[in-house]
Amino acid sequence: LDNFFADAGFEIRYGGRRMQQWDLFIVAFKQKKSEEDAKKIAFPFL
Protein backbone atom coordinates (compact mmCIF):
# COMPACT_ATOMS: atom_id res chain seq x y z
CA LEU A 1 0.00 0.00 0.00
CA ASP A 2 2.80 2.40 0.91
CA ASN A 3 4.55 1.77 -2.43
CA PHE A 4 1.40 2.62 -4.39
CA PHE A 5 1.14 5.97 -2.63
CA ALA A 6 4.86 6.64 -3.21
CA ASP A 7 4.49 5.79 -6.92
CA ALA A 8 1.53 8.21 -7.10
CA GLY A 9 3.80 11.05 -5.94
CA PHE A 10 3.01 11.28 -2.25
CA GLU A 11 6.17 12.55 -0.53
CA ILE A 12 5.37 11.56 3.05
CA ARG A 13 3.16 8.74 4.23
CA TYR A 14 2.24 7.62 7.69
CA GLY A 15 -0.11 4.82 8.54
CA GLY A 16 -0.63 1.46 10.07
CA ARG A 17 -3.25 -0.84 11.39
CA ARG A 18 -5.72 -0.29 14.17
CA MET A 19 -5.88 -3.46 16.21
CA GLN A 20 -9.33 -2.96 17.70
CA GLN A 21 -11.02 -2.16 14.36
CA TRP A 22 -9.02 -4.61 12.19
CA ASP A 23 -8.46 -2.04 9.47
CA LEU A 24 -5.65 -0.09 7.85
CA PHE A 25 -5.16 3.64 7.55
CA ILE A 26 -2.74 5.89 5.73
CA VAL A 27 -2.33 9.65 5.78
CA ALA A 28 -0.34 10.90 2.79
CA PHE A 29 0.90 14.29 1.63
CA LYS A 30 2.22 15.42 -1.73
CA GLN A 31 4.07 18.36 -0.16
CA LYS A 32 7.07 17.90 2.12
CA LYS A 33 6.25 17.54 5.81
CA SER A 34 8.32 16.26 8.68
CA GLU A 35 7.56 12.80 10.00
CA GLU A 36 6.60 14.44 13.30
CA ASP A 37 4.00 16.66 11.57
CA ALA A 38 2.58 13.65 9.71
CA LYS A 39 2.27 11.73 12.98
CA LYS A 40 0.46 14.66 14.65
CA ILE A 41 -2.05 14.79 11.80
CA ALA A 42 -2.51 10.99 11.74
CA PHE A 43 -2.87 10.63 15.53
CA PRO A 44 -6.69 11.18 15.64
CA PHE A 45 -7.14 8.23 13.26
CA LEU A 46 -5.18 5.75 15.41
Sign of CA dihedral 3, 4, 5, 10: positive
Domain boundaries, the chain: 2-45
Q: What is the mean pLDDT of the chain?
A: 87
In a 3-state reduction of DSSP, which class is residue 6? helix
Cα 34 versus chain centre, distance: 12
Could you report the per-residue pLDDT of 5-26, keeping only the tens digit for each?
A: 999 999 999 888 877 777 888 8
